[in-house]
Chain A
């Protein structure tokens, strides 16, 4: 449905730095466009949910998030997914570099 996501997961000093980009209009219901924004973002580390976010149309268009996960090792599976107010969703998976 929507444009691509992009993620970079790298090891930093004692934590895993996860930066994720999402293609989404995050519209605030201009006159012609209906309200269309991501509501929830979920981050999983090796299948275990570690961050659950609820967001609104106050997050910028084409959202960019950076999270920090405790510890982590090369090859860890990081997955980030989103769900918007129309029920559309997308997700991306990457292993820690």
Chain B
């Protein structure tokens, strides 16, 4: 009998200790289900998300660099100018539609940029989760290297900041190459309201 109570006593604190990362992931895979266009598998974590979760988004610098290099490889930088049409870019930045289980498949997705960022001065309804991008092109210019940085950051923000909260909009299939180029223009084109 004592052996049993000893085992229970041993087990008891384990129950009270923090659930393991694996256990938490298993709970998610069990308690979430496919709906509409969002598959159940989307609630499982890939390597970088496991590390970001375990390290509270602050992985050691060396590890962060490895992760960022890894993510950088996922970005297919198109050839030539990365500047699209800023007018289309504005609509993409304003739209929060797309990729939820109530969105029909195949419709163009929005970038939800205004949810987290300030961009054009005239839009008062902007978020503050991300840094302000007011006059971004005016401050940073719109040369090839800035275009490449902005394109890559939108495609996969984790290539530049391992545990960034910014969604990997290209990598996740949310935005097409052309939509990202239009956002690059919205940010960098001197004529864009972002730079007025």
Direct contact of A and B (CB under 8 A): no
B residues at A contact (CB < 8 Å):
none
